[in-house]
């Protein structure tokens, strides 16, 4: 982090109690608010809030909006300490949005008094569960990932205890279709069949040495690979892990997470609803809620990027799928750390375009739904920090149609005899769709995971036969 940005964040913290990006992260994790929803509550335009999140602006010129920001910060802190419960979120947000009282900045970080026994009413036992709700936020939550030579070396030491370097191969038959030199980074060869295990391992080690008391347990929302990562790493750290998945989730992923020792809960019609339920459950049970994008996760994921560049020097372009952003962010940050000119190209499903829209519009853009069988990238609400890294460092974002993703799954199997889950084949699908841009170049693609269930593979094979 450069000195100017650090100073801007410090000034925001003096005004609001936290830098605005941290407040946005709290609102997302604790209250289920995306940036557009948060802007609506505060009374700002979404572009204005994005500027605050990125520290392009330090303060709000509207005193009423500043007051709402202060009340929102206060309420977030009350949720964290257990002074407020999840049943109060909807009403409190409505009250904050309706408030027209201007604020004095010097009073913005004042904390509310704890709820008294009299305020609890005649039957305090009825409120006992709310009073016990003390969710935790991991250290570094809301911070921009910053990969340094030392942090990368540390992460590689930690990750390689459990995950040996994965191979990168050229497949001549695949190159008949890509029509250029193509290197595949096989992250499907890891112990959970996907790249995210690296992030989970690094997260647990960072948590262990952070000095904070060990939490009662961990919780996260996932479609599968993030959950497998945390279950794998949590078991080795001796921490119980609860995973929330949406309805109709990949059954093999659920079995794998349970096999690794996680308690799996089904809630919500899609990933975003599962994410909101996980935040609520974290409050109720006092669990550490781990988002799918966090600087410690990105540090761990960055280890495969370093391996890729070391084993295949001189890559002109790397294609990487974009789910919540840890993979593409790691590729950008390591590319910059190494001083390379490699193009980083993100790939999304056309039915889940949140990150593509965010790239095109230069700000985080949420969508009402994510309709795609490529479940690993079915994101409706992008992470604002991930968006900023992508928008500053990616060359382009390619959208892939459902049939293109299915064809890529089949092509991976045909040309390499490896199994790719839908998101795992997405980089190849994007490269094929982008063939004119990559012709004649040394290209890399990341096969991010191989956790495809039999039903999906059977359906894809039947549709293409």
The pLDDT, as a whole number, for residue 1 is 54
Cβ atoms of 244 and 220 closer than 8 Å: yes
The pLDDT, as a whole number, for residue 113 is 33
The pLDDT, as a whole number, for residue 127 is 39
The pLDDT, as a whole number, for residue 135 is 52
Helix (H, G, I), strand (E, B) or coil at 262: coil
Query: Measured between alpha carbons, how far is 108 from 355 in angstroms, rounded to an integer?
Result: 33
Closest alpha carbon to 262 in 324, 215, 217: 217
pLDDT above 70 for 130: no
The pLDDT, as a whole number, for residue 80 is 77
The whole-number average pLDDT for the span 412-431 is 96
Per DSSP, helices labelled H in 17-116 are 20-31, 35-42, 46-53, 63-81, 89-98
**Structural domain span for residue 24:** 3-102
Query: Measured between alpha carbons, how far is 241 from 225 in angstroms, rounded to an integer?
Result: 14
The pLDDT, as a whole number, for residue 136 is 67
The pLDDT, as a whole number, for residue 284 is 85
Q: Which of 268, 289, 310 is a domain's end point?
A: 289
Q: Are 268 and 361 within one domain?
A: no
Ranges of beta strands (E only) in 119-234 are 136-137, 168-170, 181-186, 218-221
Q: What is the CATH number of the domain that holds 154?
A: 3.40.50.1100
Q: What are the beta bridge partners of residue 263?
A: 242
Average model confidence (pLDDT) for the chain? 87
Q: Are 456 and 362 within one domain?
A: yes
Q: Which of 102, 117, 132 is a domain's end point?
A: 102
Q: What are the beta bridge partners of residue 318?
A: 344, 444
135, part of any domain? no
The pLDDT, as a whole number, for residue 164 is 96
Q: Are 158 and 268 within one domain?
A: no
Flag the least confident range among 15-19, 59-63, 135-139: 135-139
The pLDDT, as a whole number, for residue 298 is 97
Q: Are 184 and 331 within one domain?
A: yes
309, part of any domain? yes
* Cα 193 versus chain centre, distance: 19
Q: Are 306 and 185 within one domain?
A: yes
128, part of any domain? no
Query: Measured between alpha carbons, how far is 317 from 25 in angstroms, rounded to an integer?
Result: 31
123, part of any domain? no
Residues in the chain: 465
Flag the least confident range among 27-31, 81-85, 327-331: 81-85
Cβ atoms of 355 and 346 closer than 8 Å: yes
Between these two residues, 286 and 111, which has the higher pLDDT value?
286
Cβ atoms of 72 and 96 closer than 8 Å: yes
115, part of any domain? no
Helices 225-237 and 251-259, packing angle to 10 deg = 10
Ranges of beta strands (E only) in 86-231 are 136-137, 168-170, 181-186, 218-221
pLDDT above 70 for 66: yes
Measured between its terminal Cα atoms, the distance across the chain in Å is 52
Q: Are 302 and 224 within one domain?
A: no
318-372 residue pLDDT tens:
999 999 999 999 999 999 999 999 999 999 999 999 999 999 999 999 999 999 9
Q: Which of 42, 76, 102 is a domain's end point?
A: 102
118, part of any domain? no
The whole-number average pLDDT for the span 267-279 is 87
Cβ-based burial of 457 (10 A; exposed 0-12, middle 13-18, buried ≥19): middle
Flag the least confident range among 115-119, 311-315, 445-449: 115-119
Looking up tokens 């190849």 gives 428
The pLDDT, as a whole number, for residue 103 is 55
pLDDT above 70 for 106: no
291-300 residue pLDDT tens:
889 999 999 9
379, part of any domain? yes
Q: Are 285 and 378 within one domain?
A: no
74, part of any domain? yes
Helix (H, G, I), strand (E, B) or coil at 170: strand
**Position 131 confidence tier, pLDDT thresholds 50, 70, 90:** very low
Q: Are 180 and 320 within one domain?
A: yes
Query: Measured between alpha carbons, how far is 317 from 334 in angstroms, rounded to an integer?
Result: 14
Looking up tokens 């599962």 gives 274
Q: Are 263 and 163 within one domain?
A: no
Q: Are 447 and 377 within one domain?
A: yes
Looking up tokens 């602006």 gives 57
Count of domains observed in the chain: 3
176-231 residue pLDDT tens:
999 999 999 999 999 999 999 999 999 999 999 888 888 889 999 998 899 999 99
pLDDT above 60 for 133: no
- Tell me, what DSSP letter sits at residue 215? P
The whole-number average pLDDT for the span 236-253 is 91
Query: Measured between alpha carbons, how far is 57 from 9 in angstroms, rounded to an integer?
Result: 10
Looking up tokens 């084949």 gives 425
Q: Are 387 and 314 within one domain?
A: yes
Q: Are 275 and 308 within one domain?
A: no
């Amino acid at each position: 982090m450069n000195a100017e940005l650090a100073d801007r964040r410090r000034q925001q913290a003096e005004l609001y109690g936290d830098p605005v990006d941290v407040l946005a992260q709290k609102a997302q994790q604790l209250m289920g608010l995306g940036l557009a929803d948060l802007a609506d509550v505060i009374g700002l335009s979404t572009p204005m809030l994005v500027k605050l999140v990125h520290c392009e602006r330090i303060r709000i010129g509207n005193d009423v909006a500043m007051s709402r920001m202060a009340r929102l910060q206060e309420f977030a802190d009350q949720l964290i300490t257990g002074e407020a419960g999840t049943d109060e979120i909807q009403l409190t947000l409505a009250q904050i949005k309706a408030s027209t009282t201007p604020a004095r900045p010097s009073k913005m970080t004042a904390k509310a008094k704890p709820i008294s026994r009299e305020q609890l009413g005649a039957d305090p036992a009825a409120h006992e569960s709310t009073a016990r709700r003390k969710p935790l936020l991991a250290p570094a939550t809301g911070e921009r990932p910053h990969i340094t030579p030392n942090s990368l070396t540390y992460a590689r030491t930690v990750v390689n205890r459990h995950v040996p370097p994965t191979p990168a191969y050229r497949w001549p038959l695949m190159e008949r279709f890509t029509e250029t030199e193509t290197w595949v980074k096989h992250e499907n060869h890891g112990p959970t069949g996907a790249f995210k295990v690296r992030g989970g391992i690094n997260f647990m080690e960072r948590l262990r040495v952070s000095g904070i008391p060990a939490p009662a347990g961990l919780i996260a929302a996932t479609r599968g690979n993030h959950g497998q990562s945390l279950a794998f790493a949590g078991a080795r750290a001796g921490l119980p892990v609860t995973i929330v998945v949406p309805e109709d989730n990949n059954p093999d992923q659920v079995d794998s997470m349970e096999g690794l020792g996680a308690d799996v809960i089904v809630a919500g019609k899609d990933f975003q609803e599962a994410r909101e339920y996980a935040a609520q459950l974290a409050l109720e049970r006092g669990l550490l809620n781990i988002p799918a994008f966090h600087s410690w996760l990105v540090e761990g994921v960055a280890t495969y990027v370093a391996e890729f560049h070391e084993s295949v020097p001189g890559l002109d372009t790397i294609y990487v799928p974009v789910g919540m952003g840890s993979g593409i962010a790691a590729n950008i940050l390591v590319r910059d750390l190494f001083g390379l000119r490699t193009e980083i190209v993100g790939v999304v499903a056309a039915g889940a375009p949140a990150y593509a829209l965010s790239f095109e519009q230069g700000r985080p853009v949420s969508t009402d739904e994510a309709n795609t069988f490529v479940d690993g990238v079915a994101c409706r609400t992008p992470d604002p920090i991930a968006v900023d890294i992508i928008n500053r460092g990616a060359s382009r974002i390619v959208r892939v149609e459902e049939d293109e993703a299915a064809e890529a799954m089949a092509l991976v199997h045909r040309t390499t005899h490896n199994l790719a889950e839908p998101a795992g084949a997405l980089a190849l699908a994007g490269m094929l769709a982008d063939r004119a841009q990559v012709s004649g170049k040394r290209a890399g693609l990341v096969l991010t995971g191989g956790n495809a269930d039999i039903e999906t593979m059977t359906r894809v094979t039947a549709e293409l036969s």
